[in-house]
Each structure stands twice: as structure tokens, then as C-alpha cells.
């Protein structure tokens, strides 16, 4: 197998490219104030590049090339990066944040491995597609699928006849996505029904205006919004 041995300049150039690849994706993540930003992505990309270079260099230095397995160390990088990805995810109430950042960490490690192996075109194409996904598609995603908070809405009524149709109409007007709903009729000493809705409320929604609109539906006595855990 005719493979040109790696030179020191080859290693330096590939490490510099790995550094640059991590910086580009990391800058985008830092601009969105993510827990894993530019420095984290740079370290992962550069480290993955070095490990790939090591996988290639060791067989050249100590064993015949045709008896080597350059992918052995690279395979450990792919599985090991999952621990860092898990650390980038945060659970907030009923929501999980950081999935995109965890995926970008996994991907930038793959880009670093590709650069270390000399697959410059594939690495550049992956870097470009990643930027399109994070930046361009992020704009479309926010427009068509705005981020939301999961809330437990509880409406207390003066009597046992809640106007659920009017409530659902108002929630639709405010872009609220109702996931479940139940009515608790007043019994015994407690009079008045309670309408509970588990709903996704867009972050752009004015909570005060929404509560005021819900109270205007009729005999609503109190409107409460709680985080659901």
C-alpha cells in the first residue's frame, strides 16, 4: 500500500485546520450563549485532529503500514465524545436544552477526525452544511416553530360551567399549543369548577395580556400559570 508518510508540516497544517473548523462552529454557538462555546469546540476539533494524526503516525513509526488499523483510536473518539455531549444538555422543568450543542460537539469531533485523515474536501463540505443548519435553518425554525415554555394553566370559576370553547379560542389566538385539558367540578363545600390545561406558550407571548384575556371569558375568578415538573 503506497501511502506518503506524514511530515511535521502536514501535522501542523491539519492541526491549524482543525483549530479553524472548531472556531467557526464554536463562534456560532457562543453567539447564542450556549454552555459549550468557541473554546470547547476548538479543543474538541483540535484534539480529534491530533488523535487521528496519532492513529496514522503510530503505524508508520512502529509497524508496517499494511498491518495497521488507523481507525482504532478514531472509534474511541466517537464513543467518548458522548460524555461531553451529555454535559452540554440541561433540563429545565419539562424541557431539555442543549441538544443542538451536544450534536455540534459530536459533529465537530468528526470534522476533526476527517481533517486529521486528510479528507479536506469532506471536512469543508461538512463544515459548510453545519453552518447552514445552525444559522440559516435556525432562522426558518424560529419563524415556523417558535420556542415555547411548558406551563400548567389553572382557571378557577365562580360556578360549575366553564366556557372551554372560548378559552381554547383565546389560546389559539395567542399561539398557545394545548397538550392536555381536564375539568374539576366543584364538590361539597368548594364551589366553582377548575379548568387545568397543560400548554406550550411561545416565549414571545405577553403573559399579562393572555391572563387578562382569559379572565374576560366570563365568570373566571383566578388565572394561575405554573411550571410543570
DSSP-derived 3-state class of residue 119: coil
Task: Residue 135: count other Cβ atoms within 10 Å of its Cβ.
Answer: 11
Measured distance between the N- and C-terminal CA atoms of the chain, rounded to whole angstroms: 59
pLDDT at 188 over 80: no
Task: Residue 77: count other Cβ atoms within 10 Å of its Cβ.
Answer: 20
pLDDT at 181 over 90: no
pLDDT at 16 over 90: yes
CA distance 58 to 216: 74
pTM to 2 decimals?
Answer: 0.65
**Residue 3 grid cell:** 501511502
Q: What is the pLDDT, as a whole number, of residue 95?
A: 55
Calculate what percentage of the chain has a pLDDT beyond 70.
Answer: 84
The residues spanned by each domain of the chain are 8-144, 148-227
48 compared with 161, residue with greater pLDDT: 48
67 compared with 23, residue with greater pLDDT: 23
149 compared with 133, residue with greater pLDDT: 133
**Residue 149 grid cell:** 415554555
Return the CATH fold of 148-227: Alpha-Beta Plaits (3.30.70)
pLDDT at 172 over 80: yes
Q: What is the pLDDT, as a whole number, of residue 48?
A: 93
Q: What is the pLDDT, as a whole number, of residue 174?
A: 85
Contact 109, 81 (CB under 8 A): yes
pLDDT bin (cut points 50, 70, 90) of residue 201 is confident
pLDDT bin (cut points 50, 70, 90) of residue 66 is low
Contact 221, 158 (CB under 8 A): yes
pLDDT bin (cut points 50, 70, 90) of residue 189 is low
pLDDT bin (cut points 50, 70, 90) of residue 119 is very high
CA distance 119 to 11: 13
Residue 67 region by backbone torsions, left for phi larger than 0, else alpha for psi between -120 and 50, else beta: alpha
Mean pLDDT, residues 81-95 taken together: 65
CA distance 207 to 224: 11
Strongest mean pLDDT among 6-10, 70-74, 126-130, 225-229: 126-130
pLDDT at 126 over 90: yes
The partner residues of 156 in beta bridges, in order of sequence, read 194, 222
Mention every residue, 6+ apart, whose C-beta is less than 8 A from residue 127.
Answer: 21, 24, 25, 111
CA distance 226 to 220: 17
Supply the DSSP string of 156-205, one letter for each residue.
EESSS---HHHHHHHHHHTT-EEEEEEEE---TT--S-EEEEEEEEETTS
pLDDT at 99 over 50: yes
Helices (H) and strands (E) in the chain, counts: 8, 6
pLDDT bin (cut points 50, 70, 90) of residue 175 is confident
The partner residues of 217 in beta bridges, in order of sequence, read none
Q: What is the pLDDT, as a whole number, of residue 211?
A: 83
Amino acid at each position: 500500500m503506497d501511502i506518503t508518510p506524514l511530515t511535521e508540516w502536514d501535522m501542523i497544517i491539519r492541526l491549524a485546520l482543525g483549530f479553524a473548523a472548531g472556531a467557526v462552529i464554536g463562534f456560532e454557538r457562543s453567539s447564542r450563549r450556549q454552555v459549550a462555546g468557541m473554546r470547547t469546540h476548538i479543543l474538541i476539533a483540535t484534539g480529534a485532529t491530533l488523535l487521528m494524526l496519532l492513529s496514522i503516525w503510530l503505524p508508520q513509526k512502529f509497524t508496517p503500514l499494511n498491518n495497521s488499523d488507523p481507525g482504532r483510536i478514531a472509534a474511541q473518539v466517537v464513543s467518548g465524545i458522548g460524555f461531553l455531549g451529555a454535559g452540554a444538555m440541561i433540563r429545565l422543568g419539562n424541557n431539555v436544552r442543549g441538544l443542538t450543542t451536544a450534536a455540534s460537539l459530536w459533529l465537530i469531533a468528526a470534522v476533526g477526525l476527517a481533517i486529521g485523515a486528510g479528507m479536506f474536501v469532506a471536512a469543508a463540505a461538512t463544515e459548510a452544511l453545519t453552518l447552514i443548519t445552525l444559522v440559516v435553518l435556525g432562522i426558518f425554525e424560529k419563524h415556523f416553530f417558535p420556542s415555547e415554555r411548558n406551563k400548567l394553566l389553572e382557571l378557577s370559576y365562580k360556578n360549575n360551567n366553564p366556557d372551554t370553547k372560548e378559552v381554547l379560542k383565546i389560546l389559539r389566538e395567542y399561539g398557545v399549543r394545548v397538550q392536555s385539558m381536564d375539568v374539576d367540578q366543584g364538590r361539597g363545600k368548594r364551589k366553582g369548577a377548575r379548568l387545568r390545561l397543560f400548554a406550550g406558550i411561545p416565549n414571545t407571548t405577553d403573559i399579562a395580556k393572555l391572563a387578562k384575556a382569559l379572565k374576560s371569558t366570563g365568570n373566571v375568578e383566578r388565572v394561575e400559570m405554573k411550571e410543570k415538573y
